[in-house]
Structure 1
Amino acid sequence: MTVKEQILSLLDRNKGGYISGEEIAGQLSVTRSAVWKAIKSLQTDGYSIQAVTNKGYSLSPLTDILSAGAISKYLNPQGQKLRLEVYKTIPSTNEAAKILAANGEAEGKVILSEEQTAGRGRNGRPFFSPRGTGIYMSILLRPKLSAAEATLLTTSAAVAVALAIETVSGKDTQIKWVNDVFMDGKKVSGILTEASVSLENGRLDYAVLGIGINVALPADGFPDGLGGIATSVFAKSNHYDDLRCRLVAEVLNHFMEFYEHLTDRRFLSGYRQRLMSLGTPVTVMKDNQQREATAIDIDDDCRLKVRYVNGDEEYLSSGEVSIKI
């Protein structure tokens, strides 16, 4: 970590209390001048840090800005193996992770940003990513999976997000097949998995798992077209201590637990439990045609089983259909 990151980590561990510049300099083996410059840079980045003569520096307990140090303190031992990199702004965390993957970056890199200027959802649709109110992150993975098994990454991530939201907020969540997480009938999180497949053996060379969560309602609300279908975990963002950092860590903790035993499908019962479309009418969009059906089950590969009006049944994969509930 840089000196700036190390200082932020020290302040975060002592959030609300004071730590002197001399003590910081001594712990990090840097000069007092280097400490002062780093503090000023952190304040410019938006961190609420008070400087009081003869007391030192204090990070406000209401601070809710993403940082690797603040996230790491909530990670379990498995999550501690991840390498976090946080940006103030970035076009797309998925694109950044894909570039790293193509250049040989090892598994376990996590890219996060306070905002995205070109965030993407499924089918190239834009993903609204305003500063300070959401979680936008991408995890670089190199799983030993076939292309057909890639859905396990997406669906296990949906359960990880649902569990994280429930843990931090105490509220119930649902999952809309395949990978959207809902609260109170509206979308609160979207997941986009992009992968590179080896032509030699048909297995994944790498996968980038992108996760976006609306944590708080943006100051100006959601833009036209989203207000009726999107929601946030909380109504406000400025009175929740480490809210987003805790959520990030919970997502990573749950996902890495699933990932370690992915083909055992330990997440599947939680996925089925939260699936909101079973037993309901759906419209299957396939091959530029619409067919009315009823969603009746999912199999162990998270394919959706539907029964059409004429009685025919079919298992559908995420790559083949779009389901409109």
Structure 2
Amino acid sequence: MTTKDEVLGILMRSQGRYVSGEELARRLSLSRNAVWQAVKSLQNEGCSIDAVTRRGYCLTDTPDLLSPQAVEKHFSRRAPCWDVEVRKTVTSTNTVLKAMAESGAPEGKILVAAEQTAGRGRMGRRFYSPAGSGVYMSLLLRPACGPAESLYITTAAAVAVAEAVESVAGREAQIKWVNDVYLRGKKACGILTEAAFDMETKRLSYAVLGIGVNMRAPAGGFPDELEPIVTSVFGEADYDPGKRNRIVAEIVERFWRFYENLDEKAFLKGYRERSFLTGKDVYVVSGAERRPARALDIDDEFRLHVRYENGADEYLQSGEVSVKPRGGAA
């Protein structure tokens, strides 16, 4: 946690009363000048902090910026291992957290960013992650499971995100197999799980669960190529920056509830009920081939059950599926 985060934490816990620079310096083992620098940095980021000679500093309003303290304020429960870190900008939260995992970081590390300069989605696609638009986060997991069960991490996360969106925004969310959360027929959230396999134990060494949520449309709108297929949780009129902290907290809490008993698959019912593809005509994409099919349901292992035009059935464990446009045009 940075000096700025530690100062903000004390001021948030003392909100409404002044804390002297001397007390802050003593509690954090810092110089008075370091405290002053941290306060100025927080003020520049939008925190309402009064500074009064011989009284100290007072946080006069709960800040809207992303911060560990603001996220933690929304936890109704807390696992001992959770460690929230917030950065203004990263290349990719998954990339940064994977490096931490390789260096031995423990399970429960949560990295949150307001911007990604090299965000990634499935199949190497770029994940558009501008500042002031979304919230981007990754969780470090060290599950006691093999590769086959790792799909449960992604599907549990999809249900957790959908539940969090419904709770925070009051809007019905759907899940497009296997890892996208949809609102009003468009993608509002993407999920990317990356893992390292331990050959000796035949289990995952670690998994990094990445989640990107479009909280509002970026200034000037989404790029032309994304506009027809993506949306945001909030419109400009009902967007509240403070809800970024709440949605991070709700996603973490809801996911962890599933993760603690992953093999019980308590999230299966919620996944099925929110399935965006069930009952739709789709294309199953494999390289350049696009086979028309109908999506029938989700089975107990979260495989997508499809039936091709020739009557053959297949249960898809992974892959790419797109909704067939009305009228059948490609």
What is the TM-score of this pair, normalised by structure 1? 0.91
Tell me how far 1:85 sits from its aligned partner: 1.5
Counterpart for residue 39 of structure 2: 39
SS of aligned partner of 1:150: helix
Give the total of aligned pairs: 322
What runs of 5+ residues in structure 2 fail to find an aligned partner? 324-330
Amino acid at match of 1:100: M
Matches within 5 A, 1:309-324: 309-318=309-318, 321-324=319-322
Does the CA contact (< 8 Å) of 2:47 and 2:61 recur in 1? no
Amino acid at match of 1:322: E
CA distance in 1, matches of 2:275, 2:123: 22
Displacement of 1:20: 3.4
Give the secondary structure class of the aligned counterpart of 2:205: strand
Which residue does 1:86 correspond to in 2? 86
Q: CA deviation at 1:173?
A: 0.5
TM-score (norm 2): 0.90
CA gap 1:46/1:186 in 2 versus in 1, 3 angstroms: same
Aligned twin of 1:247: 247
> Residues 112-261 of structure 1 correspond to what in structure 2 (within 5 A)?
112-236=112-236, 240=240, 242-261=242-261
Cα deviation digits, residues 169-216 of structure 1 (max 9, x gap): 111111111010011111110000111112334321111100000112
Equivalent residue, structure 1, for 2:20? 21
Give distance in 2, aligned partners of 1:24 and 1:74: 24
Over 3 Å counting, the alpha-carbon distance change for 1:235 and 1:54 in structure 2 is: farther
Report how far residue 94 of structure 1 moved. Answer: 0.5
Query: Could you tell me how far apart the structure 2 residues matched to 1:133 and 1:231 are?
Result: 11
Query: Once the 2 structures are TM-superposed, how far is the Cα of residue 78 of structure 1 from its aligned partner?
Result: 3.6
CA distance in 2, matches of 1:109, 1:139: 6
| Larger displacement relative to structure 2 (5-14 or 179-188) | 5-14
How far, CA to CA, are the matches of 2:298 and 2:32 in structure 1?
Answer: 60
Deviations 1:14-46 (A, max 9, x none): 55x342325545655655444322201222344
Percent of pairs with identical residues: 50
Paired residues of 2:296 and 2:307 also in contact (CA < 8 A) = yes
How far off is 1:274 after superposition?
0.6
Residue type of the partner of 2:20?
A: G
Query: What are the equivalent positions in structure 2 for 1:276-295 lying under 5 Å apart?
Result: 276-286=276-286, 288-295=288-295
Q: CA deviation at 1:67?
A: 0.8
- Structure 1 distance, partners of 2:18, 2:257, is 36
Question: Could you say if the C-alpha distance between residues 43 and 226 of structure 1 is closer, same or farther in structure 2, counting changes exceeding 3 Å?
Answer: same
Q: SS of the counterpart of 1:196?
A: strand
SS in structure 1 at match of 2:235: coil
Distance (whole Å) between structure 2 residues aligned to residue 131 and residue 60 of structure 1: 25
Give the counterpart letter for 1:263 in structure 2: D
- Quote the Cα distance in structure 2 between the aligned partners of 1:287 and 1:39: 54
Q: Which amino acid aligns with 1:289?
A: E
User: Relative to structure 2, which stretch is displaced further, 74-83 or 56-65?
Assistant: 56-65
Deviation at 1:51, TM superposition (A): 3.0
Which ranges of structure 1 fall in alignment gaps of 5 or more residues?
none
RMSD, matched Cα? 2.2
| 1:41-80 equivalences in 2 (<5 Å) | 41-52=41-52, 56-59=56-59, 61=61, 63-79=63-79
1 or 2 for the larger relative contact order (CA 8 Å, sep ≥6)? 1
Q: What letter corresponds to residue 283 of structure 1 in structure 2?
A: Y
Instruction: Please report how far the alpha carbon of residue 227 of structure 1 lies from its aligned counterpart in structure 2 after TM superposition.
Output: 1.3
